[in-house]
Amino acid sequence: MSIEFAKYHGLGNDFILIDNRSSSEPVIAPEQAVELCDRHFGIGADGVIFALPGQDGTDYSMRIFNSDGSEPEMCGNGIRCLARFVAEIEGDRSNLAQYRIHTLAGVITPQMTAEGQVKVDMGVPRLLAAEIPTTLAPANEKVIDQPLEVAGKTWSVTCVSMGNPHCITFVEDVAAIPLETIGPQFEHHPAFPQRTNTEFIEVVQRDYLKMRVWERGAGATLACGTGACASLVAGVLIGKCDRSATVELPGGCLQIEWSEVDQRVYMTGPAERVFTGQFYSLLPSASAAGEALAVETNP
């Protein structure tokens, strides 16, 4: 079976987008997502994103597989790419389209801006230990500036869920962080039963943060939208930054605002199409396998 895809990126956080409107289940399995994401033997991406039919009155549903095949609840850069992708497959050239997207982290609403960016209502951050989830505090308490032992060092961490888990630590110099060695140790720390995304933040000014990220299931990426949102929230909680700030990631900048009015987080940033193509599905998902079998046995 040949499957069409489009390759997009948001600040270098790159995704394979698949038009999955004809089925309520992803047309490929997590194992094949791993192969497609491989940068040498596949297309190359940080994850695969599916535009599925909407549920509960939404326009679309989004599902995503990380490059290791795991499935996160949400993806901030990814949902900007998804918004552009659905505008394209719908042929919507209005440039100010807005979509209600069902995700495993609730309904998220991206909107195109007049400047050619995508602004996303990322919802209200969740802060209780059970919501992250983490065992760093009792279930209904927050984890703000708490000590965590990693790699023989005590780090001060703040935990925020943007639907997916984030552990944020503020440092003097993000460039000096040995991400490849300590990132996995945060990700797999026993304090995080669902593993965690980890952000290292340097406060340049109260409205300008520098961030490096180690993503759960994807490793060091050039950008992480949910991570930038979670980091701004963490910075406000510990009193180090304003409610509105620029977050500079290795791939570029995002504008993040934690609204005092509705307590929701708004993220604005780019999403660009790189190329389109098609691949042959050698490893069909469970539902597609059923169809393939039916074709073979029903000439």
Q: How far apart (Å, rounded) are the C-alpha atoms in residues 162 and 174?
A: 22
Known active-site residue 224: yes
Q: Is 183 in the site for ligand ZDP (CB under 6 A)?
A: no
| Distance in Å, CB of 282 to ligand ZDP, minimum | 25
The C-alpha atoms of residue 197 and residue 226 are separated, in whole angstroms, by 9
CB 194 within 8 A of CB 179: no
**Residue nearer to ligand ZDP on the CB measure, 37 or 129:** 37
CA 125/CA 134 separation, integer angstroms: 15
| Choice from 201, 224, 236, 254 touching ligand ZDP (CB under 6 A) | 224
228 Cβ contact list (under 8 Å, min separation 6): 76, 199, 211, 247, 249, 254, 256, 267
Give me the least distance between CB of 224 and ligand ZDP, in Å please.
4
Size of the site for ligand ZDP (CB under 6 A): 17
Chain positions 58 to 117 lying near ligand ZDP, rule: CB under 6 A, are 66, 72, 75-78
Return the sign of the alpha-carbon dihedral for residues 242, 169, 267, 115.
positive
**Is the preceding omega at residue 110 within 30 degrees of 0, hence cis?**
no
Residue (227 or 281) nearer to ligand ZDP, CB = 227
| Residue 251 contacts ligand ZDP per CB under 6 A | no
Catalytic residue among 37, 75, 159, 253: 75
Q: Determine which residue in the list 134, 158, 226, 231 makes contact with ligand ZDP, applying CB under 6 A.
A: 226
Q: Name, in order, each residue with C-beta under 8 angstroms of 193's C-beta and a sequence gap of 6 or more.
A: 133, 134, 135
Is 217 near ligand ZDP (CB under 6 A)?
Answer: yes
Runs of H (alpha helix) within the chain: 30-37, 76-89, 179-187, 225-237, 286-297
Query: SS3 for 277?
Result: strand
Which member of 81, 159, 224, 241 is catalytic? 224
Residues 2-41 within binding reach of ligand ZDP (CB under 6 A): 13
Q: Which is nearer to ligand ZDP, 32 or 103 (CB)?
A: 103
Q: Which residues are catalytic?
A: 75, 224
Residues at the interface with ligand ZDP (CB under 6 A)? 13, 66, 72, 75-78, 164, 197, 215-218, 221, 224-226
